[in-house]
Amino acid sequence: MADDGARVLVLTGTGEAAFCAGADLKAIDTLGPRLDLPEGPLGFTRLASPKPTIAAVSGWCLAGGFELALWCDLRVATPSARFGFTERRFGVPLIDGGTQRLPRIVGEGRALDLVLSGRTIEAAEAHAIGLVTEVVAAGGRADVARALEMAEGLAAFPQQTMLSDRRALLEGEGMTLADGLAHEAALGRESVATGAEGAARFAGGAGRSGAGTGV
């Protein structure tokens, strides 16, 4: 994500059977030393991406793999996708951000249901509760194709303003409304010039079809 030429990260599994089924339970004794890693036990789940992220999910998305999907901004899934904290039945704790990110996405009540019960939900229910952004047709890695299409759309927008608005939303989650509004305004002031340029392009006829005007 430090690559200035890359504007969006798409995260997916290697096949249609699974996005990620989490850590190897046979090696769970190695978990303790990884708890204090600043980047997170799974490698980057405690790091904040400076750019938009999209998870393309087919098949099993469980335990730490579920937490990886929650790390992303958006989630696209095929009907085969299954989400759940199945480590509940083995007494393994959630340590890659699941307890913090899930309630921010679906609300405290639904998050408690999934965290406490460890039940597995299908793509349709995940979409209904706002966990999944979009469910696409099955087969041919349609989830990846759609995620890449979405990524191209995001990459075409003027980046400074989009990233500023994303930052205001994410950083404002822990603030009071008044502080969040002030933070939004402060970040917005940095993008006023970009907005003026974009408005001028629109006035000149650019983007009238709904396409991004890109910068």
Question: pLDDT for 139-175, tens place per residue?
Answer: 889 999 999 999 999 999 999 999 999 999 999 998 9
Work out the burial of residue 1: count CB atoms within 10 Å of its CB; fewer than 13 is exposed, 13-18 middle, 19 or more buried. Answer: middle
Q: How confident is the model at residue 1 (pLDDT cuts 50, 70, 90)?
A: low
pLDDT at 78 (0 to 100)? 97
End-to-end CA distance of the chain: 18
Sheet holding 74-77, edge to edge: 9-12, 53-57, 74-77, 134-135
Q: Is the pLDDT of residue 215 over 50?
A: no
Confidence of residue 202 (pLDDT cuts 50, 70, 90): low
| Whole-prediction pTM | 0.86
Q: Compare 159 and 41 and report the one with higher pLDDT.
A: 159
pLDDT surpassing 90 at residue 43: no
Which CATH architecture fits 9-154? Answer: Alpha-Beta Complex (3.90)
CA atoms in the 13 A half-sphere facing the CB of 208:
7
CA 126/CA 130 separation, integer angstroms: 6
**Which active-site residues does the annotation give?**
67, 87
Mean pLDDT of 177-185: 97
Q: What is the mean pLDDT of the chain?
A: 88
Q: For residue 9, give the 3-state DSSP assignment.
A: strand
Amino acid letter at 35? L
Which residue from 214, 209, 180 is spatially nearest to 194, judged by alpha carbons? 214
* Unique residue bearing structure tokens 């608005």: 165
C-alpha distance from residue 204 to each of 201, 209, 213 (Å): 5, 13, 12
